[in-house]
Amino acid sequence: MTEGLFWYDGYLFENGESGAGFLSGPNFDTAALRFGASVFTTLRVYGQDLAHPMTMWKAHCDRLTQSLTYFDWVQPDWLSIYQGAQQLKAHYLVLRLTVFPDGKVWITGRNLPPCLTQQQTEGVTCQLASTDYQRSFPRHKTGNYLACWQARKQAQRAGAQEAILMNSKREWLETATGNLWGVAQGQWWTPLQTQCLPGLMRQRLQTLLSAKGMKVNGSPWTRAAVAGFDAIAYSNCVVGLLPIHTILDRDITLKYNVQNASLKALQRQLASLTEEKSMIPEMS
């Protein structure tokens, strides 16, 4: 994998390389850096193919378009963005597309988390974050991600790998980087979508479960509700569906079964889609 490449406003750069195009973009005098005024999406490129159904390229672009429309910002040149992503996908498995209010786009790349395969099998530990940590515009991925970043940093200092955000009622909403899932007696549960980011992997998993005739129950996640779950996991487009074996809540530790049959079956079904181009249509 090549290190240090990025794409900005129609040009490919290497870190440390100065260019007139980049210097006129996300510099120290932009609303993006002063206020976090940007929207972004993070996608995993399967088979180095933007058209792979699991890459969900169109769905990522559609979600960005919806956010840009909501904020009344300039729509970018989507063909140019596609060409930039095509250049970077040969070097990175994960791409992040950041769109600024003026319609300019910054694409960066990275590799998968080094312990991802192990974590998908063994699970991770999460810590409940303070209710002070609230995402601004929770239904949009904005550049102001301080609450998520800080919550995750505090969780890591406590020995956890991820943080779980809550509202003022201490209802669980989502993790710092993904959507929550719970299993109770073979039934699937997820927090109310109106309070959380409408994750694309969340939509994909709902589609898979619906195809099996299984209903996904959406309701507030109170302490009483989560105490009844047999297993808990979180999802995003990079990690897929990641089990959670331990949750730290101040002086209380909650344990969950990462070998739960329903959880493992959904993981296997999701993994099968990454191995070949399935016939599942793109989501818009």
Predicted confidence pLDDT, tens digits, the chain (284 residues): 456 899 998 999 887 555 444 444 455 458 888 888 999 999 999 999 999 999 999 999 999 999 999 999 999 999 999 999 999 999 999 999 999 999 999 999 999 999 999 999 999 999 999 999 999 899 999 999 999 999 999 999 999 999 999 999 999 999 999 999 999 988 999 998 777 899 999 999 999 999 999 999 988 999 899 999 999 999 999 999 999 999 999 889 999 999 999 999 999 999 998 875 543 444 43
Q: Tell me which residue of 168, 9, 2 sits closest to 88, measured CA to CA.
A: 2
Domain 116-275 is in which class?
Answer: alpha beta
Joined tokens for residue 240: 């897929």
- Please tell me the distance from the alpha carbon of residue 151 to that of residue 260, in angstroms, as a whole number: 28
pTM of the full predicted structure?
0.90
- Please tell me the distance from the alpha carbon of residue 79 to that of residue 190, in angstroms, as a whole number: 35
**Topology of the domain covering 5-110:** D-amino Acid Aminotransferase; Chain A, domain 1 (3.30.470)
Residues of the chain with CATH 3.30.470.10: 5-110
Query: 201 by DSSP, 3-state: which?
Result: helix
- Tokens 């949750």 correspond to 247
- Tokens 């331990």 correspond to 246
Residues of the chain with CATH 3.20.10.10: 116-275
